[in-house]
Amino acid sequence: MKAIEVRDLVKVYGHEVRALDGVSLDVEGSTVHALLGPNGAGKTTLIRVITTQLKPNSGYARVFGYDVTKESSEVRSLIGYVPQEVSLWSDLSGYENMLMYSKIYGIPREIRRRRIEELLDFIGLSEASGRLVRTYSGGMIRRLEIAIALMRNPRLLILDEPTIGLDPGARSLVWDKISEFRRENGVTVFFATHYMDEADKYADYVTLLNQGRVVSHGTPNELKRHVEGNKVLITLKNNTDSSRLSEVLSSVPGVAISSFDNNCLELVISDVPTRLPAILEKIFVSGYSVSEVKIREATLDEVFIKLTGRRISDESGRMKEVVSVRKMIRRGG
């Protein structure tokens, strides 16, 4: 069953800003699906429609078959959601935040305490749980928020920029916990990000969003095929006669020689996994030996640039926002 089904979704703010301009996408159950795009692409708006916060102007979105506008309470009972902004009471302790949300979520009294302690242990915050959230680091805050979202055993976990503003160590810890929970519970994960490496590494499927439209979607590898060929650098052992090798290699389909200086050969190869062995074999058969092979894989960023002419990651505007949010936590807002 589809976890999320979105068709021709349009959301206009005011009268002119078309935040979503006819978005359609499917998220299959028990997969990890990333929504990747630059700031202002419409990622948060899409997530807010799916989480029943905003009504779309036209089109529809369904979560496990329930319509997000007509059957919003059913949808809300199936999802766990972590918004981009901090969603904790900074003047309460970590434990108290979990306790308050467990009551709001209606976790039965008998299992409440055990569930909270299990989750605090799971995300590694047992020891810090008595401290005020105001004293937490960004990574701790995110992990606690994820634990709160998991408290209800959701079938669909929706994360809006789960690692924004975190350092690399905290980012990978957040993802370790999400992956671990997924292995144990098979929850579907739908997350928005503008970190292409995160989408590449953790998502089974990626939807590229730009200016309110879906640019492309598929597995990270499928998307990378949009960039024609990967660069492969082959260093040969001896100085060689370049013209003869060029001739040999030009007979292999899907290979283009972009440069050949001294004994360093730079190729552009489409579909590296199947073609590279054939190329290496040709080189060996022709009597050359290879000392080093470097493959530079295409990144989703390159795919995005190729499809839209824009880069995904443009940190400048966003960082300001993150810094101000973090400041607000410190102040106890």
Binding region for other proteins (CB under 8 A):
48, 51-54, 73, 76-77, 79, 81-89, 91-93, 96, 100-101, 103-106, 132, 148, 152, 325, 328, 333
| Residue keyed to tokens 């997924």 | 182
Torsion of the alpha carbons at 163, 50, 28 and 179, rounded to the nearest 10: 20
Q: 61 vs 272, which CB is nearer to other proteins? A: 61
Of 158 and 215, nearer to other proteins (C-beta) is 158
Least CB distance from residue 29 to other proteins, whole Å? 20
Closest CB 140 distance from other proteins, rounded Å: 16
> Minimum Å distance from CB 82 to other proteins?
8
Pick 76 or 226: Cβ nearer other proteins: 76
Closest to other proteins by CB, 87 or 263: 87
Nearest to 85 by CA among 160, 150, 169, 144: 160
- Relative orientation angle of helices 168-185 and 109-122, to the nearest 10 degrees: 130
The Cα–Cα gap between 122 and 76 comes to 24
Distance of CA 272 to the CA centre of its chain: 24
Q: Which is nearer to other proteins, 156 or 236 (CB)?
A: 156
Nearest approach, Cβ of 265 to other proteins (angstroms)? 52
Question: Of the two residues 190 and 288, which places its CB atom closer to other proteins in the complex?
Answer: 190
Helix/strand/coil for 58: strand
Closer of 140 and 255 to other proteins (Cβ)? 140
CA dihedral 137→189→50→38, nearest 10 degrees, is: 60
Contact between 119 and 98 under an 8 Å Cβ cutoff? The reply is: yes
Question: At its nearest, how many Å lie between other proteins and the CB of residue 304?
Answer: 27
What is the smallest separation between the CB atom of 10 and other proteins, expressed in angstroms? Answer: 16
The nearest distance, CB 189 to other proteins, in angstroms, is 16
Question: Please, where are the H alpha helices in the chain?
Answer: 43-50, 72-78, 94-104, 109-122, 138-150, 168-185, 196-202, 220-224, 242-250, 272-285, 300-308, 315-331
| Torsion sign, CA atoms 43, 49, 54, 57 | positive
For residues 165 and 247, what is the distance between their CA atoms, to the nearest angstrom?
Answer: 51
